[in-house]
Structure 1
Amino acid sequence: VSLKRFGYLDRDSNFALVYETGESDKTLYPDGFPPDGTPMIVVQGPHKALVVVYYILAVCGIIGSIIFLILNFLYRNTKVICLTTPLLSYIITSGALLMYLSVFLGLLPSTKKAVIRMQCNIHVWLYGVGYLLVYGTLLAKMWRVYQIFHNPNSNKTILKTWHLMCVVFSVTGVGVLLILARSVAQALTDPDLVTNKENPEGATGSDIQKFNKVWQCYGSGSAPFYLDLVIFVYLGLLQVVGIILAFQTRKVKIPILNDSKSVTALIYISSIVLVVIVLISFILNEYVNVRAVMFYGGIILLATIFLALIFIPKVISLHRDPAGNEIFSDIDDPSKRAEKCEIKGNHNNIAVGLAELTDSEMVPSG
């Protein structure tokens, strides 16, 4: 350690500090005066480089969502797109957009309690509602395929567009009520300032004790804590429903209609990510950078995989077979192959064999 002489204590002047030439209070103490020994509390947030990287990824995701939304709109009259219901695709892209936007708000740099309270509320709405919209839409798509191809009842139920939308909004509505209750509880709960366990303490240049702190939305045992548990249990039940529908429709031979493989992959991946988010929310909240990497990385990963597994196969099919002539080539019985897929008003009509199967209705042939 290199030592530097800055002065001496003058015995003849009652041990007063006498500075060497060029030294003074300003050169010895950063603030210009000796410290009083009071510890310094520093409120920290995620590393700036991490925030920049995630902002870039979120921007790329938003751009991708908009591109898929535009393509879905421009080619909505083609067989490839209309078979999979453009309206549901719009909801999926909208949900993914909300999830990407939650990353921006959640990583917004701030050390003020009022701003942190706002972030704790709004970013939960963004990623929560976004996820519910996407996953609820996937369940509606799977339910539609199940009703068309696997329903053992010979008297087919009339399946209208609003039936599918009811599935989406029912799944989302229950989640919204839970998030609303959580938001009310959060508004009545002050964020906690806790020790940053990644870098709990240190010292300044003046040897002042420094304690590094981070904000967390709530403390263990608070009302928002238990409501978050309820929300995650609800999401877990949705995963189970998705697995059941995916299993029941796994043998459908029309790839562009059968989302079971994609949904199964999404279920497995989203289940893993949800477990990580649960661990982060309840165990690793005091590790500011670890939490940012895993929590917001999980949201970006989920939104990206949702878009990729749902829309990239459509884009590939649209490129290889714009007219949709090969969609039903895997069906051996020609009478069960689609004869048309066209837009009538706001409804997508799909004629399969003797029955008219539509996004708005499934009418048995007479």
Structure 2
Amino acid sequence: MGLFSFLKKKFSKKPDAATETYAKGMEKSRAAFASRLDELSKRYSSVNQAYFEELEQILIESDVGVDLSLRLIEKLLDASKEQKISEPGKINEMLIDEMFVSYATAGAVIKNEIQFAPEGPTVLLVVGVNGVGKTTSIAKLAYRYQKQGKSVLLVAGDTFRAGALEQLQVWADRLHCPIVLGKPNGDPASVAYDGAKYAKEHKIDLMIVDTAGRLQTKANLMQELGKINRVLAKEIPGAPHESFLIIDATTGQNGVLQAKAFKDVTPLTGIVITKMDGTSKGGIILSIRDELGVPVRFVGLGEKMEDLQEFDLDKYLYGLLLGDKA
């Protein structure tokens, strides 16, 4: 059974709330990808070089990435020749299968939920450039784990951006969770130290550390994050246990470049994609996984707190390909 048929069968019954969130949040991406695939297959009675060129263009314009798009098309060309397949519908189904395989086999083993330390506080370091939805994502993650019964501490390590401390304070008040604040333009590592002390003293389950997003000063950022990592590791064994990069889906391939730059300056255990509901280029998830080998752990599919969803490859492909057509 091909993946396309598998998805149709799996989601043939009324989808659950999470699946519906994916379907709704990926409407724009589905229109730009699945609808174009369907339209393309209707224009050709059999595939030829022109068909594959148009297919390649659809992939690239959906932000699957040039390198991955070329590899996928090359595999399809080889398979269609070897298996003597000329029907556009079957070629499209083979493409979906290859997209699934490319994600599942690239990089580290896929795990989504935060991996909690067996003892003491678990520390999540959050990085990302300004304007990608970093603070909101931190709040949504805090909300998610509060709902799971975890105690959460927010640490405002972005001491440089105007309004960053106040913004995180507002979320802490709304979530009724403690927050450790530093002084404006203060040393972020010092704030991280204070946060670690508080987390240990109050037996906090999850400590989420915000950081500055000044990627344009790469050397300074590397030094700053390195110092934060060292301070955290000294105070809490194994910290930071997780390091998430926040990327705005609407930035497309610029987001991939940001991911590469951050991976150069600090170890990353996962990526959170925000504003997926606002883009028609849902292929960015495949592109990031392919180029960095870092898994997407959560995806933002709307503005509500519950719209930050654990990344699920089946639901993602369902939202990208089928949605309300299943």
Q: Would you say same fold, with TM above 0.5?
A: no
Larger Rg: 1
Structure having greater relative contact order (Cα 8 Å, sep ≥ 6):
2
